[in-house]
Amino acid sequence: MITDFETNKVFLSALLKTNKYASFGKELDRILEKHSIKPEFIENTRDIWCRDYMPIQIGEKEYVQFKYFPDYYVNHKYIKRLTIQEELQYLTPDNIKLIDLIVDGGNIVKSKNKAIMTEKVFKENKNRTRKSVVDMLLKALRIDELYFIPVQPYDLTGHADGMVRFYDENTLLVNKFVQETNSWCKKLEYALNKTRLNIIEFPYIPSDEEIEGEWTAKGCYINYAQIGNLIIFPQFNINEDGNALRRIMELFPEPEYHVEPIDATVVAKEGGVMNCITWNTYKPIIHNAIDYLIPVYGDENSMLVIHKDDITAKDDALCVKLSPNIGEIGTAWSTQKMLKRLPLNGIDEKDIFKARTILKEFFSSEQLSDILQALLSPTKNAMIELLEIPPRLKNYKPKN
């Protein structure tokens, strides 16, 4: 599987752009921008916990999608929060294999060749035998080792990502549980011993706050977000914050890693933290993408770019609209319908050099790669809008 250490992109629910999360969202944007990561947003979500309903990345271009139908949402109190996977709108990966098991993404804590889940998965798939569930998971995730731990008492979701986290392939971070019963702690210890992994205790403060009858996630530091070498670490305005932050910085020291604290109280009050609200993936970066981008029109405020192979187009070409000064990247669309004309003749080297200088100033290598990818893999709607299909796309079949 693709591990958090390997990822370079992050997706968030579009709900995080609403006023409710304005302050939190602004700080998260600042952190991501500081580290040249541009988040993508998933439309039509019904809650912010995108980790749970998004696919699991198995390889560079391979994903598996489990069924999202958690028991905690199947009642009159919470049913309106149940995201319908078929309604989601985002830049869908090419190769997604559907798996006939009910599994929340937050219940899969993974390394390269191992995974840990809670026993909750058997309850949610009680129509299958335990062996059948295990075999299907091993095959779907392409791993050799799969371990199960008991659900933490009073945890509504029953997810493993609020309890444990892989530090490396052979080491596991585990919450320091001090308020659970001895019998439950012994069950957890027994389950962890079976993994034969090295165990590092990690700061954890059980929440003492309930909202609408459910415990908040305040104090669950282990649910941090990790995108490559960037760790976005939750803080909750409680006494343990400083100790937890020092510990994570000891485990992931500069300059190899970058730890950024963030006040996550607003999301923690709803029962989750940073790992819950992020879906991080690995996307190959085309490092020479700038060499393939040709400006058709514009400046640092607004610009249209096309693929260099489309410069000889007579009637139309695929373009991407950019707003370099605010780092905004549009979707690929018809140049003709963007401008009502096709000014592809007369683009000289000075214009190209000037535009590329602007692009390099305002966009990261990853973002330039994304722009090129949009031109290489346009949507079905974009292809329909074109008055002329560029020769390079004559045999291209869009996936959506």
User: What's the pLDDT tens digit per position in 117-127?
Assistant: 999 999 999 99
> For the whole model, what pTM was predicted?
0.85
Tokens of 107: 């219940």
Paired strand residues for 102: 67
Paired strand residues for 99: 66
Bridge pairing between strands 95-102 and 62-67: parallel
**DSSP code per residue over 77-97:** TTGGG---GGG-BS---SEEE
Final residue of a structural domain among 240, 262, 281: 281
Nearest to 277 by CA among 287, 261, 264, 263: 264
Residues 12, 107, single domain; the answer is yes
Residues 253, 303, single domain; the answer is no
pLDDT score for 272: 96
* Percent of all residues in the chain with a pLDDT value above 90, rounded to a whole number: 75
pLDDT of residue 344 exceeding 60, the answer is: no
Dist. CA 374–CA 332, nearest whole Å: 6
Q: Order of strands, edge to edge, in the sheet holding 171-175?
A: 164-168, 171-175, 198-202
Residues 342, 274, single domain; the answer is no
**Residue at 234 is within a domain:** yes
More confident residue, 203 or 388: 203
pLDDT of residue 341 exceeding 90, the answer is: no
Q: Provide mean pLDDT across the span 335-352.
A: 69
pLDDT score for 340: 62
Task: Give the SS3 label for residue 362.
Answer: helix
Taking residue 361's Cβ as centre, other Cβ atoms within 10 Å add up to: 10
* Percent of all residues in the chain with a pLDDT value above 70, rounded to a whole number: 98
Residues 81, 184, single domain; the answer is yes
Dist. CA 306–CA 184, nearest whole Å: 60
**Residue at 43 is within a domain:** yes
pLDDT of residue 225 exceeding 70, the answer is: yes
Tokens of 264: 């996550």
CATH number for the domain that contains residue 136: 3.75.10.10
Dist. CA 24–CA 10, nearest whole Å: 16
**Residue at 398 is within a domain:** no
pLDDT tens digits along 209-222: 888 878 899 999 99
Tokens of 380: 């079905």
**Residue at 95 is within a domain:** yes
Nearest to 260 by CA among 9, 12, 17, 35: 35
pLDDT score for 254: 96
Residues 198, 314, single domain; the answer is no
pLDDT of residue 17 exceeding 50, the answer is: yes
Dist. CA 306–CA 340, nearest whole Å: 16
pLDDT of residue 131 exceeding 80, the answer is: yes
Counted domains in the chain: 2
Residues 204, 338, single domain; the answer is no
Report the residue count for the chain.
400
pLDDT of residue 343 exceeding 60, the answer is: no
Final residue of a structural domain among 232, 258, 281: 281
**Residue at 275 is within a domain:** yes
Residues 335, 266, single domain; the answer is no
pLDDT score for 347: 65
pLDDT of residue 365 exceeding 90, the answer is: no
Label residue 244 by pLDDT band (50, 70, 90): very high
The boundaries of the domain holding residue 68 are 4-281
Residues 53, 148, single domain; the answer is yes
Nearest to 50 by CA among 279, 204, 256: 279
Final residue of a structural domain among 248, 281, 314: 281
pLDDT score for 348: 74
Dist. CA 244–CA 119, nearest whole Å: 28
Residues 351, 263, single domain; the answer is no
What stretch of H or E contains 51? helix 50-53
Residues 215, 312, single domain; the answer is no
**Residue at 400 is within a domain:** no
Dist. CA 118–CA 150, nearest whole Å: 5
Label residue 400 by pLDDT band (50, 70, 90): low
Residues 139, 35, single domain; the answer is yes
pLDDT score for 342: 46
Q: Which residues of 45-75 are buried (b: 16+ CB within 10 A; e: fewer)?
A: bbbbbbbbbbbbbbeeebbbbbbbebebbee
**Residue at 107 is within a domain:** yes
**Residue at 91 is within a domain:** yes
pLDDT tens digits along 250-285: 999 999 999 999 999 999 999 999 999 999 999 988
Phi/psi at 104 (nearest 5 deg)? -85, 140
More confident residue, 400 or 98: 98
Residues 296, 264, single domain; the answer is no
